[in-house]
Amino acid sequence: MTQKIARDWYQTTSLGEDVTLISEIHVARWLRCNIWHIRGRDADLVIDTGMGLRPLPEEIARLSDRPQIAVMTHSHFDHAGRLYDLDIRCGHCSEAAIIADPTPANTVADTGYVRAETFTALPWEGFSYQDYQVRPAPLTRLLDEGDVIDLGDRVFHVFHLPGHSPGSIALYEKTTGLLFSGDVIYDGALIDDLYHSEPEVLAASHARLRELPVSTVHGGHFGSFGRDRMIELLDEYAAGGLRIGPANAWLDGEIAADRKQTETGHSPV
């Protein structure tokens, strides 16, 4: 069946504390990256840029006319696809070479997650998922553990938390307890078996999170949650759960759940 061309690609949701979630609404829920926009006095912060199939600055302009500082939590295709659209581009030094010269392999776009079922509508006429790839976006600022991003009235501390990927970072605001965690932790099954993933290193990163006085975790995927839920998720992963495992089998289940939702009108659990 021929898919329609989407009229709108993004949707914004205010979550309070001057935090807005920007969602690519026609990317399947099981892959959709959370794009975070945080308002500051002198500048705003954009954390991750999704698959990048429509211009992002036009959407951000609806929220703010201040300078935008873009941070990629890591260089995977679903998080860094539109980074090139922004002038100030920050990320961890160990993944700078990837985003400067991205390929389907080094951005893990070739792992089976980009398929026809990934999209409920097309971003433009003639779009083909087989042609999808991340565009180069050389970083203008390299980040590492202990660095800060200052918005004038808000300061975010950089935590280097590798394991999912070597350059995975999280941003933490001490005054509010907000943690923007990328794919280090989110409320769903985690991926720790990519070409540059290291489960034992991810476990060490999780141990650091346990010590952090978090109020709310805004993850790279799915809904936000508090500290108690974060500890539950960390415990479940440590006990051997919360792993996606073979991508094709997991995706078959998620796609079947989406079809059931369409047929019954009930959201998949």
- For 55-61, which contacts have Cβ atoms below 8 Å and span 24 or more sequence positions? 55/82, 55/85, 56/10, 56/22, 56/82, 56/85, 56/86, 57/85, 57/86, 59/10, 59/12, 59/22, 60/22
CA pair distance 112, 92, nearest whole angstrom = 25
Query: pLDDT-derived band of residue 18, with 50, 70 and 90 as boundaries?
Result: very high
- Tell me, what's the pLDDT at 95? 98
- Tell me, what's the pLDDT at 264? 67
HSE (side-chain half, CA atoms, 13 Å) at 55:
5
- Tell me, what's the pLDDT at 257? 87
Percent of the chain at pLDDT above 90? 90
- Tell me, what's the pLDDT at 2? 58
30 φ, ψ (degrees, to nearest 5): -75, -10
- Tell me, what's the pLDDT at 212? 97
In 72-198, which ranges are continuous DSSP H helix?
77-80, 96-100
The answer to whether 129 and 119 are in contact (CB under 8 A) is yes
Tokens of 184: 């280090």
Q: Render pLDDT for 188-239 as a digit per residue (tens, 0 to 9).
A: 999 999 999 999 999 999 999 999 999 999 999 999 999 999 999 999 999 9
Supply angle C-alpha 168, 62, 181, rounded to 5: 15
Starting from the edge strand earliest in sequence, which strands make up the sheet with 68-71, in order? 10-14, 19-24, 35-38, 44-47, 68-71, 88-92, 141-143
Residue 38 has pLDDT above 70, yes or no: yes
What average pLDDT does range 153-164 have in this prediction?
Answer: 98
Closest among 162, 155, 191, 1 to 78, alpha carbons compared: 191
- Tell me, what's the pLDDT at 269? 43
Residue 19 has pLDDT above 80, yes or no: yes
Closest among 186, 234, 252 to 32, alpha carbons compared: 186
* Domains of the chain, first to last: 10-264 (3.60.15.10)
Q: Render pLDDT for 92-139 as a digit per residue (tens, 0 to 9).
A: 999 999 999 999 999 999 999 999 999 999 999 999 999 999 999 999
CA pair distance 140, 96, nearest whole angstrom = 10
Q: Render pLDDT for 63-74 as a digit per residue (tens, 0 to 9).
A: 999 999 999 999
Q: Render pLDDT for 169-184 as a digit per residue (tens, 0 to 9).
A: 999 999 999 999 999 9
Q: Which helix (H) or strand (E) holds 57?
A: helix 57-61
- Tell me, what's the pLDDT at 261? 75
Query: pTM higher than 0.75, yes or no?
Result: yes
Query: pLDDT-derived band of residue 265, with 50, 70 and 90 as boundaries?
Result: low
What average pLDDT does range 37-53 have in this prediction?
Answer: 98
HSE (side-chain half, CA atoms, 13 Å) at 16:
4
Mean pLDDT lowest among 50-54, 178-182, 252-256: 252-256
Residue 1 has pLDDT above 80, yes or no: no
Number of H helices, E strands in the chain: 6, 13
